[in-house]
């Protein structure tokens, strides 16, 4: 176990960001080296624990990008991805070795469907490759992560054997990916619990999870993982990544922040006030639009339009707001005015723009507002000023 792992508080969840590696694998999300560096600086500002900067062997451009990030970015561990091949591991080390805190992250699939269909090998052969290549990586770098690709569909007792062997070989973090988003939270939680119970040297490494969102369960599965002993979560900003994406960092982190008692003291070191600006930056640079109703960072995440909700919110924020927009870097909630808005919200907006109508004027304004809202769908400040002048 590295010194960094030895000193990791028991209840801290390490956040491993793979926006620049798995996230960039989203269809159409290719980034230039300068854009990757811009995001890496923002991730350091967000205070992530690990930045997976890329896959150095995959291309000369990716190698240079990882090397530049490793040379400039301070604070987070900088990881380079490598297949369990000597040339990959050598390239990853050459790219990250200039970092103050370098990591080699190597992987091979362990499920029978991959072993037989993709590799045409036996379990024993895969185990030997994994062990040998972790040994090679550990001879170069004191911080080595191993990922058992498609662990979610791997026979559990073979997975336990792989985890034990790579820890003995020098892996300081072992990642358990639900690579194809196949598992259900209770099932994935049992898998992690099984590892914690059945791998005798598991205390010598950090167990990590990396969940995909093919069934919309990536964050839920990640939470099940940490509730059963995992202490690192691999995730991306806005949940971008292969196919339906990865666990969204902002959703996982805010779940821990909003429900601390439920998670019995589990926490991250993320500076959540930078979430919104980070989300917008990643969206802009990857051209992957954030859906309006996206949890935490969507444009509607703190917008209340129903008259009942607006009235309750104006009387007490806690009625309909479980987290404060300021926690993610927004100045406040929004009360958009539309067909379903109520009298309280209209009056509140009028007050905000300096208009204090009498009760009689308010009756006329609200009646006209409802008619206009059915036509326009969204009422702006200038519309309210016009309605007020008509009511005078």
Task: Over range 111-129, report the average pLDDT.
Answer: 97
Residue that wins the pLDDT comparison between 179 and 338 = 179
Q: For the chain, what is the total number of helices (H) and then of strands (E)?
A: 15, 8
Question: How many Å apart are CA 238 and CA 378, to the nearest integer?
Answer: 27
Q: State yes or no: pLDDT of 318 exceeds 70.
A: yes
Share of the chain above pLDDT 70, in %: 98
Q: State yes or no: pLDDT of 4 exceeds 70.
A: no
Q: State yes or no: pLDDT of 293 exceeds 70.
A: yes
Torsion angle defined by CA atoms of residues 335, 338, 341 and 345, in that order, rounded to the nearest 10 degrees: 40
Output the average pLDDT for the chain: 94
Beta bridge partners of 233: 15, 209
Locate all alpha helices (DSSP H) within 259-335, ordered by sequence: 275-286, 307-315
Domains and CATH numbers, the chain: 3-286 (3.20.20.70), 307-391 (no CATH)
Encode pLDDT of 230-253 as tens digits. Answer: 999 999 999 999 999 999 999 999
Give the sign of the dihedral formed by CA 36, CA 38, CA 43, CA 44. Answer: positive
pLDDT computed for residue 6 by the predictor:
63
Q: State yes or no: pLDDT of 368 exceeds 70.
A: yes
Q: State yes or no: pLDDT of 196 exceeds 90.
A: yes
Tell me, what DSSP letter sits at residue 298? Answer: S
Q: How many CB atoms lie within 10 A of CB 113?
A: 12
- Cα 358–chain centre separation: 49
Residue that wins the pLDDT comparison between 184 and 346 = 184
Q: How confident is the model at residue 320 (pLDDT cuts 50, 70, 90)?
A: confident
pLDDT computed for residue 198 by the predictor:
98
The answer to whether residues 72 and 37 touch, using CB atoms and an 8 Å cutoff, is yes
pTM of the model: 0.89
Nearest-5° Cα angle at 308, 303 to 310: 35
Share of the chain above pLDDT 90, in %: 79
Task: Over range 308-317, report the average pLDDT.
Answer: 80
Question: How many Å apart are CA 263 and CA 251, to the nearest integer?
Answer: 14
Beta bridge partners of 113: none
Question: How many Å apart are CA 390 and CA 392, to the nearest integer?
Answer: 6
Maximum separation of any 2 CA atoms in the chain, in Å = 85
**Strand-pair category, 50-54 with 77-83:** parallel
pLDDT computed for residue 142 by the predictor:
98
Nearest-5° Cα angle at 42, 244 to 15: 60
Q: How confident is the model at residue 3 (pLDDT cuts 50, 70, 90)?
A: low
Task: Over range 351-369, report the average pLDDT.
Answer: 90
């Amino acid at each position: 176990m590295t010194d960094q792992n030895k000193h990791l508080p028991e209840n801290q969840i390490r956040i491993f960001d793979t926006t620049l590696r798995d996230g960039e694998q989203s269809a159409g999300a290719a980034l230039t080296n300068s854009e990757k560096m811009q995001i890496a600086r923002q991730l350091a500002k967000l205070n992530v624990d690990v930045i997976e900067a890329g896959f150095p062997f995959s291309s000369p451009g990716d190698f240079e990008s990882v090397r530049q990030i490793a040379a400039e970015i301070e604070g987070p561990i900088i990881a380079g991805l490598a297949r369990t091949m000597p040339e990959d591991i050598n390239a990853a080390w050459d790219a990250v070795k200039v970092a103050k805190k370098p990591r080699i992250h190597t992987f091979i699939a362990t499920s029978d469907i991959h072993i037989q269909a993709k590799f045409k090998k036996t379990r024993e052969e895969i185990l030997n490759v994994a062990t040998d290549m972790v040994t090679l990586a550990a001879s170069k770098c004191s911080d080595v992560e191993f990922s058992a690709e498609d662990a979610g569909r791997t026979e559990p007792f073979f997975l336990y054997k792989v985890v034990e062997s790579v820890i003995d070989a020098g892996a300081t973090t072992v990642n358990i990916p639900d690579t194809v988003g196949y598992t259900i939270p209770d099932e994935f939680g049992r898998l992690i619990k099984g590892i914690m119970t059945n791998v005798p040297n598991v205390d010598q490494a950090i167990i990590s999870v990396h969940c995909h969102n093919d069934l919309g369960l990536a964050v839920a599965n990640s939470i099940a993982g940490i509730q059963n002993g995992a202490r690192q979560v691999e995730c991306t900003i806005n949940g971008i990544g292969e196919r339906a994406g990865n666990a969204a960092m902002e959703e996982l982190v805010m779940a821990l922040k909003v429900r601390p008692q439920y998670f019995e003291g589990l926490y991250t070191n993320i500076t959540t006030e930078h979430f919104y600006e980070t989300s917008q930056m990643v969206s802009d640079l990857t051209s992957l639009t954030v859906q309006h109703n996206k949890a935490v960072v969507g444009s509607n995440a703190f917008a209340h339009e129903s008259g009942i909700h607006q009235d309750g919110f104006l009387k007490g924020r806690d009625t309909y707001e479980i987290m404060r927009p300021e926690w993610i870097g927004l100045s406040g909630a929004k009360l958009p005015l539309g067909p379903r808005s109520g009298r309280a919200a209209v009056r509140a907006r009028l007050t905000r723009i300096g208009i204090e109508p009498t009760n009689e004027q308010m009756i006329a304004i609200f009646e006209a507002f409802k008619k206009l809202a059915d036509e326009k769908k969204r009422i702006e400040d200038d519309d309210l000023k016009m309605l007020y002048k008509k009511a005078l």
